Amino acid sequence: MRRVILVDMSRDHMPSAERSAPGAEAPFLELLARGASADAYEQPVLLARAEGLPPGRVAALEHAKVLALRVRSEMEGRRRREAELSALFETAHDLAGLRDLDAVLQAIVQRARSLLSTDIAYLSLNDPARGDTYMRVTEGSVAARFQQLRLGMGEGLGGLVAQTARPYVTDDYFRDDRFQHTRTIDAGVRDEGLVAILGVPLMLGPHVIGVLFAADRRARVFEREEIALLGSFAALAAAAIDTANLLTETREALAGLERANEIIRDRSGVIERASDVHDRLAELVLRGGGVHDVSSAVSQVLDGSVRFADAADAPDGALEASRAEGHAVRHGEDWVAAVAAGGELLGALVLRGQPGLDPVDQRTLERAAMVTSLLLLARRSASEAEQRVRGELLDDLLDARDRDPRLLRERAARLDADLDATHVVLAGRLDATAADADQEAEARRRLWSAASHLAATRHGLAAARDGGTVLLLPLGPGDTATGLARRTARELGTAVHEAVTVGASAPLHGLAARPDAVAEAYAEGQRCLDALRLLGRAGDGAAAEDFGFLGLLLAGSRDVPGFVGRTIGEVVTYDEKRGTDLLRTLDAYFACGMSPARTKDALHVHVNTVAQRLERVGRLLGPDWQSPARALEIQLALRLHRLASSGHH
């Protein structure tokens, strides 16, 4: 998916010296348009200094350069991620049409090198007769000795992968003593000039048939995502190798047999179904199909009912057996094929209605499970990218970095969010204490993932903040901040299987025009969260309006203006706009024991005037303003307002 990156380079955000130099961004926009190198962005600044332009102009160019380089970096990162996914999808398409083993192996190493953008990729296959593994295909290799290497089991990084059936990675091969170095292997690696090497096993069930490598001639740290992607690619590649071997074996067997035409037709039909489903699955990957599309396609080919089940819903015993063996296993009248990627169990494909499954159809179900894992990884990658974009927008709102309402609305609209709607800011935090730092980090990751999913489904935004999460959610008709906070606490707690406490701000309006209000609302939500925890209400949700003046006592920060504004703000605003005397009337009314007769004497006005003013107060504060609880809060707010006002005179 291509994304357009908009950067606010408006002059309102620049210091005064920079605003005096309009058009500073023009040369950098031209550099961005023609894809210039990073070094080229220094030229406009150096030229300006050489020409002796005013400092303001030079500062403006420096500012524009920083923004342009940031945009360039983001664009390059996104182009790189698009290229990786494109290479992965193209691989599935190419493998679907390959039938020759040599062509399969060559395609594997070419795609592996393209997938990780490495200097070299190569593939070794195990030799059961000699008990070692040998170099079969290379891409990008320049050393003849390296291309002819044979590795004993346990020798070198590749031999260790082949022996243990586990991925291994080293960022500096010759300084790594986790595996056995031999003179022959080290000489070949040195001839090739390799430094960083990643190797993942090619598995058929529990057996290792070879190793797929990606390597660089410079120090490089392979990230966990890269290892997982190469592992998934290796699983798909192993299946393609198995298919090619199976087809080769079938041709050799048919050529050497003089059996009945019925057996030949039956075998050909099974293989044709396998080829058909392979092509269908590859087409699904290319057009961006989903998990349910895979289930539907396999159901048609196998003439049964296939469904995807989450790991929690699949039969435990059969799921673990399929994962351990690498094959679909029978469970009663059903067949279960584990869907896994990079050691992570994602779920299972369950086939019903075919207890007597042909071995080739069993392989078809297993291949469908591999494709399903590929689709789930691609969907997760896209989802994580969207979550990051939602988090970036909310971070900008919290830090008030982007103050252009038009750009804010456009960014929100691309995420299906409407900043002109009424919103509530919610601060959420886990209440359980993790045993160690790793468990705490994992718990926070789950909370952020659950919050991001909730924000996406509710047309809102979410970000990780202050050890917890912050959400900006729209307030529906008839809903309240309190109700939204409680629902959010309940839904997040259910998603992460731990108690989550949520504090909410008062409703906000027109966020695009005043983004600084989001930071104030977040602080208010945090104070509510602290008050809930002090009251022992962990796992609950509440808004500022639920605490009244108790929020001032319980929260770590004393938000007196916020309390006064929530309690009598409507009356204060009314007096300021119309020059009325409702506040003084309220003060006198409470001072006189809530007696209109004594109040009119204290104010020296007619009793009808007092009644009219109190009626107006009731319309501003609500019909229950004279209830004991509300009256107590109003009197406290009046006292605090009076003290604050006297401090300004």
173-204 pLDDT, tens digit per residue, is 999 988 889 998 999 999 999 999 999 999 98
| β partners of residue 187 | none
Please say whether the beta carbons of 226 and 215 come within 8 A.
no
Rounded CA-CA distance 360/261 in Å is 19
Residue 396 CB neighbours (<10 A): 20
Q: How confident is the model at residue 555 (pLDDT cuts 50, 70, 90)?
A: very low
3-state secondary structure of 243: helix
How big is the chain, counted in residues? 649
Task: Give pLDDT tens digits for 422-434.
Answer: 889 999 998 877 6
DSSP codes of every residue in 578-647: H---HHHHHHHHHHTTS-HHHHHHHHTS-HHHHHHHHHHHHHHH-TTTTSHHHHHHHHHHHHHHHHHHHH
271-307 pLDDT, tens digit per residue, is 666 666 666 666 665 555 667 677 777 776 777 778 7
Average pLDDT over residues 230-235: 82
**Least trusted range by pLDDT, from 143-152, 371-380, 624-633:** 371-380
| 155: nearest Cα among 175, 182, 193 | 182
Report the distance separating Cα 125 and Cα 136, nearest Å. Answer: 6
Which position has the token pair 């190469």?
230
Contact predicate 64/24, CB 8 Å:
yes
Q: What is the pLDDT of residue 279?
A: 66
Cβ-Cβ contacts under 8 Å for 34 (sequence gap 6 or more): none
Tokens 């319309």 identify what position?
A: 619
Confidence label for 118 from pLDDT (cuts 50, 70 and 90): very high
Indicate the angle between helix axes 582-591 and 628-647, nearest 10 degrees. Answer: 120
Q: Is the pLDDT of residue 7 over 50?
A: no
pLDDT at 201: 93
Contact criterion met (CB below 8 Å) for 621 and 589? no
**pLDDT one-digit tens code per residue, 456-472:** 888 888 888 888 899 88
Give the list of residues 6+ apart from residue 358 with CB closer than 8 angstroms, or none.
Answer: 270
Strand ranges (E), 447-521? 461-465, 468-474, 500-504
d(CA 427, CA 527): 9
Lowest mean pLDDT among 3-7, 123-127, 236-240, 391-395: 3-7
Q: How confident is the model at residue 6, as a pLDDT?
A: 39
CA 108 vs. chain centroid, Å, equals 29
Look at residues 289, 246, 296 and name the one whose alpha carbon lies nearest to residue 99: 246
**169 - beta bridge partners?**
198
What are the structure tokens assigned to 425, written together?
């800011």
Quick one: average pLDDT of 372-386? 59
Cα 230 to Cα 154, 174, 194, 235, distances in angstroms: 21, 23, 19, 9
CA distance 580 to 573: 10
Q: State the pLDDT at residue 387.
A: 53
pLDDT above 90: residue 140? yes
The residue among 111 and 122 whose pLDDT is bigger is 122
Res 274: pLDDT: 60
Q: What is the DSSP string of 14-51?
A: S-HHHHTSTTTTHHHHHHHHTT--GGGGGHHHHHHHHT
Tell me how far apart the alpha carbons of residues 153 and 165 are, in angstroms, rounded to a whole number: 11
**Beta-carbon count within 10 A of 355 CB:** 12
Which tens digits make up the pLDDT trace of 30-45? 887 787 887 888 888 8
Kindly tell me the burial class for residue 34, based on how many C-beta atoms sit within 10 Å of its own C-beta (0-12, 13-18, 19 or more).
Answer: exposed
pLDDT of residue 556: 44
Give pLDDT, residue 13.
44
Coil, strand or helix: which one is 162?
helix
Q: Do 476 and 507 contact (CB within 8 A), yes or no?
A: no
> What is the rounded average pLDDT of the residues 364-381?
69
Average of per-residue pLDDT values in the chain: 78
- Indicate the range of 131-135, 329-333, 453-457, 458-462 predicted with least confidence: 329-333
Say how far apart CA 518 and CA 526 lie, in whole Å: 12
- Whether the CA torsion 534, 537, 541, 546 is positive or negative: it is negative
Structure tokens at 193: 């000039």
Asked if 479 contacts 421 with a C-beta cutoff of 8 angstroms, the reply is no
**DSSP 8-state secondary structure symbol assigned to residue 508:** B
pLDDT at 309: 76
Q: Provide, rounded to the nearest whole percent, the portion of the chain with pLDDT above 90.
A: 14
What CA–CA distance (Å, rounded) separates 69 from 608?
70
Determine which helix (DSSP H) or strand (DSSP E) holds 292, and give its type and residue range: helix 291-302
Tokens, residue 146? 């390296």
> What is the residue type of 519?
A
